[in-house]
Amino acid sequence: MNLIVKPVWIFGIDRNVQNMVGHAGYGTYQALFNLSLIFQTLLDFGLQSYNTRTVAQSPAAMKKLFPNIIATKAILSFVYLFTVMVAGLLLGYQGFRLGLLFALCFVQVLNSLVLYLRSNVSAMHHFKADSILSVMDRLFMIGICSVLLFYRPLSTLFRIEWFVYAQIAAYLLTSVVAFIICYRLTKFDWQHYDFKKILIICKKSLPYATLIFLMAVYTRSDAFLLERMLVHSRPEEAGIYAAAFRLLDVVNNVTGVLFAGMLLPMFGGLLAKREPVQPLVNISFNIILPVGIATSAAAWFLGTDIMLHLYKGVSPYDGKVLGMLLCSFPFYCITNVYSPLLTADGRLGFLTRITLIAVCISLLLNFWLIPRYGAYGTAITSVITQAAVAIMNVYGSHKARFGLKADRGVFFRYVLFILLIITTGYLLQPVAMNLLLKLVIIGASAVAGIFAFGLISLKGLKVFISRG
């Protein structure tokens, strides 16, 4: 359901909104949206994970736990709203932009509420209802935005704030449906509220919350820094970067994030049984990294064609930004293998140090490169930051007690694989051919290279699937 609905949302609605309002207007929205995301950890503080574990173990606990968490989330929402609005004022936002930021904060509050309500539904093993709720907000948004974007009398008047209001309406409707489902599962006891218990849970979740916050800073601060630093000279740069980042976000979520989510419990199970993790690391690495390399090569050589196919008013510069930004994707892929391994082993302190270094690298490079190169400079920053994060994750994993060993043979195989993909992309670039066909050829070359250079065997692939 997610694989069908979310691409429709991203390419059918979100992309068309940017085409409708232009790079400058969408760039402002994306910058404010990212600012609201950075502080999102204040809305949860580990309550969702705690609730899922507790209710799954004892469904009867939901009766007393639900009122406690709802009240706590209400308090956290006020803290979140105050924090983000102060941050917005310090960054120089005012008037329309400050109002839009407040509306986007309300979107995040409702989104956090929906995620919490869903955690009750899934913990009670009503997975079918949870799967419907997981796409319901997007379905509401698609329906509302389709009318706003494609119904002629309204489309000519469309403004970016309508897009935000549509999200508020969609999340509000979804939260009502989710609340009704939760209420039917159990009757709540609103007389039991223990603030001290919730405070203890928040304190225990502080390391996780800190890590998530720092990750949000180095992955999401680029958009609003770009918009703030170039708001008067080159406001369209933020929109160009947002258009490219949309594609990075899609490929990373469809492959990397889902892959990491699958690896975390698999690594956890191996470590609990004291079994070797090297085979799973190797097969995972050799499945996901070639995808990242092939994707970045396609963006590098065909970036302008891809952007022309998706957006209006595109220049070769837009393709250049996309090509550079997606060079960070292979490093995302590496991190999505090694970070779950470190997380499964409980090395939050080391991961926090990595993230803190990444924040420093990202902020320093953005302050230096954005005034000189705009969106292209931000893309360079992303590549360097993600490369540093990937290297530190690999180093930390090899220095840990996992018994991982480097294989020089695999390194030379990857050199050959990269040469194959680069050669394919270079030869295809000047050829007058349908874009989709070019992408299929690069993908076919990647698959052929994976098996030809022995990165993956059919036997190893079957073992990985059986473990999953």
Length of the chain: 468
Nearest by Cα to 355 from 213, 203, 226, 206:
213
* Contact yes or no for 222/249 (Cβ under 8 A): no
DSSP letter (8 states) at residue 257 = I
Question: Tell me, what's the pLDDT at 458?
Answer: 64
Token pair, residue 31, equals 């910058």
* pLDDT computed for residue 280 by the predictor: 86
- What 124-128 contacts at long range (C-beta under 8 Å, 24+ apart), as own/partner pairs, is 124/55, 124/56, 124/59, 124/62, 124/185, 125/56, 126/181, 126/185
pLDDT at 257: 65
Report angle CA 96, 101, 102 to the nearest 5 degrees: 100
CA atoms within 13 A on the CB side of 336: 26
> Which residues have a Cβ under 8 Å from the Cβ of 109 and sit 6 or more positions away?
43, 77, 80, 81
pLDDT at residue number 69: 84
Dihedral angle of Cα 389, 394, 396, 400, to the nearest 10 degrees: 160
Along the 468 residues of the chain, how does pLDDT read in single tens digits? 667 788 888 889 999 999 998 888 899 999 999 999 999 888 888 777 777 777 777 777 777 778 888 888 888 999 999 999 999 999 889 899 999 999 999 999 999 999 888 888 877 777 788 888 888 999 999 999 999 999 888 888 899 999 999 999 999 999 999 999 888 887 776 666 677 777 777 777 788 888 888 888 888 888 889 988 987 778 889 899 999 999 998 888 877 666 777 787 788 888 888 888 888 888 888 889 999 999 999 999 999 999 999 998 889 999 999 999 999 999 999 999 999 888 888 888 899 999 999 999 999 999 999 999 999 999 999 999 999 999 999 999 988 877 888 777 888 999 999 999 999 999 999 988 899 999 999 999 999 999 888 887 666 666 666 555
SS3 45: coil
Which of 223, 221, 204 shows the shortest CA–CA distance to 213? 221
Domain boundaries, the chain: 1-204, 234-468
